[in-house]
Every structure is written in structure tokens, then in C-alpha cells.
Structure 1
Amino acid sequence: MCYHVSNQFDAEEVAREFRLPEVKLDLFKKQYDFNGFEKPYLPVISKENPKELTAYRWRLVPSWVKEEKDWKANTLNARNDELFTKASYRDSWQNRCLVICTGFFEPHYPELGAKEHESWYIKPKNKKFFALGAIYSVWKGIPTFSIVTKDATPKMAAVHNDGERQPLILTGNAALSWLIPNLTQNEMINLMEFPYPDDQLDAYRTVDGIYNAKQNTNVPEAIKPYERPAFDALDLFGL
């Protein structure tokens, strides 16, 4: 699953990095932690306008939904093995976009089966941004998207060890190909197997509480390595 991402750069910096003009990016505001359940707007490059950078809203809503309040499905992510068959996505697989972010978060369980988990942050080692493969649907004039997920690579499986899934990370020709208008299902299946190199990922534990909706994690510490809280050794002995 990929329910939290980061993008600590403003729209101008994103546009400058990708050398694209900004279009309707006023709804995007930089944050250290975007919670998908809050339906934030993120910068995207879409199949429809691959020479523009614009903002789409996270959580895909199919065009046939009458009222969003009645749409109960969790469509923050779209599994690659359900893309062409599940009612939530099968009308949208031809609508592809790249979601631009500086990293994403995953839970890690030191002990599988336990409730306690750590928050881990994954970012590109030698670049500013990830381009995540996604699909979108325009609902009542609002472009809404879902991030495609796939089986995790060995490094990502060790991080997201409960579920062993990861977002589809694309780069180079694979990213450009994702935006080709008339891809077949077989061509998409091949692209969704793109192996983003594990050695190009930085992954580390970060501040606890990323998945706690009651905690404000839109803070710089959200994307920094975890630091164990200081304590007085005498406390161990009740002194």
C-alpha cells in the first residue's frame, strides 16, 4: 500500500526540475507528509497533456459515481493485478499519469503479526523526485487518481514486510512510455513489471506516527532518519 507520500518542494521547483509549465497547480501546496485519506492534490504529468504539470486529487472516483459520499471503496491504490477487471478501475486503465513526489512512506513490522510498527521513508538516492505510475478518472470535472501498486522488490519487501507491496516507480523510457496514449493491456502489464533498481532507493526508519491520523506529521522530521528519544539512564532503575 502507498497511502502517504511527501513533496517538500513548491510548484515552481517541481516545474523547473521537469522543465514543464505549471497549469492549475494552485491546489498543490508542498508538505512533508500527504495523507491520501485527506484527498490532497499532487502534481502530475498526464497522458492527456504530457507537456504540462498540473494537479490531480488523490483517491480515484469513477465517472459513473453519482455522489462521492456514497463511494466507499478505498481507491488510493490500484493493484496491478486488478487494474483491468475491478469495477473501480476497469474504465480508467487507459487514463494514465505520473504522480510526482519526493518520497513515500511504508509501515514496517519488527515482529510480524504484532500491532506495533515503525514508519519508514523511501526516497530516490540520486534524484529529487519519484514518478509514480497512476491511473485517473475525471469525476464531475475533478481529475482524481489512484497510485498503481505491484509486488515489492527484495529491498521493498524487507521494508513493507506485511503485504510486500510497493508503488510502481517509473523512470527514463519506462516513465515516458506510461504516457503513450494507446498502450495495450499487454504493454501496460510489461511496464508494470519495470524493475526500479533497489540500489537507487534510500530507505530508513523515520519519526513514529505517520499512520496516526491524530498526530501532525507534516513536519521536517517526517522525512529524516529516526532519532531515539533521549532518556536518563537512572530512569531504568527508578532513581
Structure 2
Amino acid sequence: MSKINAMCYHTKLTAEKEDIEKEFEATYYEPESYIPKEAINGFAFAKNPIVMDEDKGHIVMANWGLIPFWAKDDSIKKMTLNSRIETAASKPAFRNSVKNRCLIIADAFYEWQWLDAKGKEKQKYIIKPTDQEIFGFAGFYSEWTNHHNGENITSYTIATTEANELMAEIHNNKKRMPIILKKENRNDWLKGETLENFQFPYEVDLIAKAI
């Protein structure tokens, strides 16, 4: 498994805590833990807000980079920031988590368009839905216990699918995109509706701006 197989490693969430709670009809367990971030880098493996299927009324902080329950250590997280929805159910890192559904909260994400064949020159874009100020990526989560210190860690991965026309133009080296759920489908995802229903051509309308 290679970390370059998917694509969404940089997101944004600067919305007010109260607006997030209103949008998802959920409250933070630890309100003081929410810090607005203009740039969230997946490779920092930091804690970010999610809504889990088993507790839809609350927002919890979870680490980006899924650690399967069977992992001996957390090194796999470098390769599990994203999961391809088409193959997640068969991949060892994800197959035990595809029924553990979550919404990863964001208000935009970033992607870089390659301007030459090797990607030495790139154009950065900020991308978000046209009809949702705050949205949820489709995600899977896992509970893992660190055998060295007994710490329990909740971690997640963002599900990706084939790029739509806009994202194929921007993410022109891999042609993938994260799955952003339509507001009316958030509960369908959390309830465990079949993965195939969320693969491309499932999509929301997106707008991209070069920055």
C-alpha cells in the first residue's frame, strides 16, 4: 500500500464551534479541544473533529491516519490517511473498519495541480462544495490500544473515489477526490449504506479557486 494511491492530505476548518455543532446537530465532548485551523496537514497526524456512527449526537477528536486494531505500532498511519472506497473492504488495513463509519468535519480542502509532467511546478487550489459551508467527508475509523503505554487511540481515514470532471483537471496526476457527503446522505453513510452507493458518479458540486 502506498500513500500516493489516494489524494486528500490537506484540509481546512475555521468555522465557529457553535456553527459546527448546529450544522451536525451534535455537541463537542471537549469544546476547549477545538482549535480552528486554516491548514490541517494529514502528515501531522493531529486530532480533528469527527462524528461517529455509534454516537451521532457528539463530536469527538480523532487522529488522522487510521491504525487498525491489530497493528503492533502506529507506523501504518503514514499510509492510511486515505482509503480507496472501491477496495477498502478487501484491504487488510481497512477491511475491519469499513462498517465503522464517521463524518470528518471540514469547510474546505486543498489540492495541487501538476503544471509539468513530473510535478516540479504546481498550482495550489482551495476546494469546497457550492451548497455546504461546513461539510463531512465520508470516513472510516478504528479503535487501537498502544500496547506499550495502554493509551486508547481513535483514528480515521478519508474515503476517496474516482475524480469528477473538475477534480480530474486539478488532481491531474492521480485523478482521485475525497468523498464529500451530501447533507441529506450523512445519516445514510453513518447507518452503513453500501459503499458502492458513494462511489463516483456520486458527488457534490464543487468550486475551486487557485491560491
Q: TM-score, normalised by structure 1?
A: 0.77
Q: Following the alignment from structure 1 to structure 2, what is the Cα–Cα distance between the partners of residues 133 and 96?
A: 8
Pick the structure with more strand per residue: 2
Stretch moving more, 73-82 or 8-17: 8-17
Structure 1 stretches of 4+ with a deviation exceeding 6 A read: none
CA pair 174-16 structure 1, distance change in 2 beyond 3 A: closer
How much does 1:39 deviate? 0.9
SS of the residue corresponding to residue 138 of structure 1 reads strand
How much does 1:81 deviate? 2.1
- The superposition leaves residues 169-207 of structure 1 with CA deviations (integer Å, 9 ceiling, x where unpaired) of 1113322100105x4xxx22122346223xx3220111x
Aligned mate of 2:191, from 169, 180, 202: 180
The answer to whether structure 1 residue 196 and structure 2 residue 203 are counterparts is: yes
The answer to whether structure 1 residue 78 and structure 2 residue 83 are counterparts is: yes
How much does 1:128 deviate? 1.2
Q: Following the alignment from structure 1 to structure 2, what is the Cα–Cα distance between the partners of residues 26 and 65?
A: 30
How much does 1:115 deviate? 1.4
Q: Following the alignment from structure 1 to structure 2, what is the Cα–Cα distance between the partners of residues 25 and 87?
A: 34
The count of residues paired between Structure 1 and Structure 2 equals: 199
CA pair 194-42 structure 1, distance change in 2 beyond 3 A: farther
Q: Is the 8 A contact 2:65 2:77 kept in 1?
A: no
Equivalences for residues 114-133 of structure 1 within 5 A: 114-133=119-138
Equivalences for residues 29-68 of structure 1 within 5 A: 29-68=35-74
Q: Which residue of 1 aligns with 2:139?
A: 134
Alignment RMSD: 1.8
Q: Which residue of 1 aligns with 2:11?
A: 5
Give percent identity, aligned residues only.
29
Stretch moving more, 143-152 or 34-43: 34-43
Q: Which residue of 2 aligns with 1:159?
A: 170
Unmatched 5+ stretches in structure 2: 1-6, 146-151
The structure whose Rg is larger is 1
How much does 1:154 deviate? 0.5
Letter in structure 1 aligned against 2:97: S
Q: Following the alignment from structure 2 to structure 1, what is the Cα–Cα distance between the partners of residues 54 and 77?
A: 27
Q: Which residue of 2 aligns with 1:103?
A: 108
CA pair 144-72 structure 1, distance change in 2 beyond 3 A: closer
